[in-house]
C-alpha cells in the first residue's frame, strides 16, 4: 500500500479537505502498514562466524571471542541495516559492496547503521565503530 495522505484543504475550515472520519481512517491504515512491516522484520542474533542477513534490519552480534560476518547486497534502495555488538569479542562486518572501506569493527556495546543506495552500503551513523 502507498502512504495515504490526509487532504487538509485549500484554507482552514473551507470544507475541501478530508473529513475527520476519513482522516482517522487514513491514519489507522498508515499505522497498520508500519506495524505489519515491523512485525515481519524481526532481529537476528549471531553467535558464530558467517553471514548476516541483509533482509533482517537488526543484527545482534554476541560472541565471547572475535566474530566475523559478511553482509551481501540489499534487495531495495533505502534498505537499512543495524548491527550492535553485545559480545565481548570484536565483531568484524565485511559488506560485499561498501563505499567507505572494506570492513567495520565493533567493540563490545558499539553499533553501526548502514543504508543501501542501490549498489553500495553506506554508514549513516555509528557509536564507536572502526572503519578500515
Q: What is the layout of strands, in order, in the sheet containing 121-127?
A: 43-46, 58-61, 80-85, 111-116, 121-127
Interatomic CA distance for residues 120 and 99, integer angstroms:
6
- Tens digits of residue pLDDT in 65-111: 999 999 999 999 999 999 999 999 999 999 999 999 999 999 999 99
Domain 43-131, CATH 1.10.1060 — does that match?
Answer: no
Domain ranges of the chain: 1-40, 43-131
Interatomic CA distance for residues 80 and 57, integer angstroms:
6
pTM recorded for the entire structure = 0.71
DSSP string, 65-130: S-EEEEE---SSTT-EEEEEE-SSSPEEEEESSBTT-S-EEE-TT-EEEEEE-SS-EEEEEEES-E
- Tens digits of residue pLDDT in 21-43: 888 888 888 877 776 766 666 78
Amino acid at each position: 500500500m502507498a502512504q495515504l495522505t490526509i487532504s487538509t484543504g485549500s484554507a482552514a475550515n473551507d470544507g475541501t479537505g478530508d473529513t475527520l472520519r476519513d482522516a482517522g481512517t487514513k491514519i489507522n491504515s498508515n499505522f497498520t502498514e508500519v506495524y505489519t512491516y515491523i512485525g515481519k522484520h524481526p532481529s537476528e542474533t549471531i553467535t558464530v562466524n558467517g553471514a548476516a542477513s541483509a533482509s533482517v534490519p537488526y543484527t545482534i552480534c554476541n560472541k565471547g571471542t572475535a566474530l566475523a560476518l559478511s553482509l551481501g547486497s540489499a534487495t531495495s534502495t533505502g534498505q537499512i541495516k543495524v548491527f550492535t555488538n553485545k559480545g565481548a569479542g570484536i565483531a568484524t562486518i565485511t559488506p560485499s559492496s561498501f563505499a567507505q572501506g572494506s570492513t567495520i569493527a565493533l567493540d563490545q556495546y558499539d553499533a553501526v547503521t548502514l543504508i543501501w543506495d542501490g549498489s553500495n552500503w553506506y554508514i549513516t551513523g555509528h557509536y564507536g565503530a572502526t572503519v578500515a
